[in-house]
Amino acid sequence: MENENSEYFFEKLDQNKIDDLLFLFKEVFNSFPSKDEIADKHKNCHGQEKFIGYIAYDRLSKKPAAFYGVFPLYAIVKGQKILIAQSGDTMTHPSHQKKGLFFQLAKKTFEFCLQNEIKMIFGFPNSVSHPLFINKLGFSETKQLVNSTLFENKLEVCRFSQKNKTMAKIHNFHLKCILLFFSRGKSFQNSNAIFENEKAYMLHDSVYHKWKSSTNKFFLKIHGVNVWISCAQNQIAIGDIELLNEQDLEKVLRKLKILTFLLGYRFLSIGGSEDSYLIKLLKGKYEQLPSYTPIFLDLSDSLPHSSFLFLNSDVDVF
């Protein structure tokens, strides 16, 4: 029960509160996602319960002060499908920081997860929120993901498209024209499924791919191989590759390097856990640098979080 003398009151997120999230995105990040974009992100994930998270409201103004939420997703853990959740947006209005709101919101969210059979929370926090998850909320971390730059385009022109909206529209039209020369692929299962009975990995099914879908992500078919890419932030990031034959990998990468050049992006990159299938195939061929650090909160005291294998497509910013 909320303390009536408290400066804040808390309410669970639902579809009717999306405008409150948009307010916080604007005030905290100066970001302007669409209402549908935010609602779809919460509707299209796995599990029966949607819109998992809590908003803190200023008791006097009734305006939203902070938010924390998670997205339920299925993982395959040594052959079994388990419902876990990915830590989502953490937002505190500048006027309400250092009031302990993040801690209170997270605790309420985790209690709800525990009541709804969500076995674990995981995430890839930034340098600001990482200490809070570890020191205040009891999360533990595992080995960092690694990232490899497979190609650097010294003649990159994509950065000019970031100067203004007109250039961005021109580059977007150019991207669509170039992609007409590439066959469209289809969604596919996580390449780490090759370790189904040994490791843990995220279930990449039709629900997952719909949850991750956006206008800058594409499935292509290259030399008969399905490839999942994201085109953003002056790079093409490889989300996953459906390899049926390991010998096809270099042929696929050569074509992606050409695509990177034609689209004017600076980098072609791939990343994931060191023991991921694709990352192991590339070890020794490309430099692997430390990347995101996965963190876990085991709500069941039974999941082997150290056995999880991630790809960059599992990171929230992909």
Going by CATH, does the domain composed of 8-118 fall within 3.40.630.30? yes
pLDDT tens figures, 16-44: 999 999 999 999 999 999 999 999 999 99
Alpha helices in the chain (DSSP H): 18-24, 35-43, 101-115, 130-135, 158-161, 165-179, 206-212, 249-263, 277-282
Q: What is the pTM of this model?
A: 0.90
Considering the four listed CATH numbers 1.20.120, 3.40.630, 3.10.450, 2.160.20, the one that applies to the domain covering 146-292+300-314 is: 3.40.630
pLDDT tens figures, 204-219: 999 999 999 998 999 9
Report how many helices (DSSP H) and strands (DSSP E) the chain contains, helices first: 9, 16
C-alpha dihedral (92, 32, 157, 180), degrees to nearest 10:
130
Domain ranges of the chain: 8-118, 146-292+300-314
The mean pLDDT value of the chain amounts to 92
Q: Judge if 8-118 and 146-292+300-314 fold alike in CATH terms.
A: yes
pLDDT tens figures, 82-120: 999 999 989 999 999 999 999 999 999 999 999 999 999
At 183, is the pLDDT very low, low, confident or very high (cuts 50, 70, 90)? very high
Does residue 244 surpass a pLDDT of 90?
A: no
Name the more confident of 283 and 196: 283
pLDDT tens figures, 153-180: 988 777 766 667 787 788 888 888 999 9
Q: Residue length, the chain? A: 318
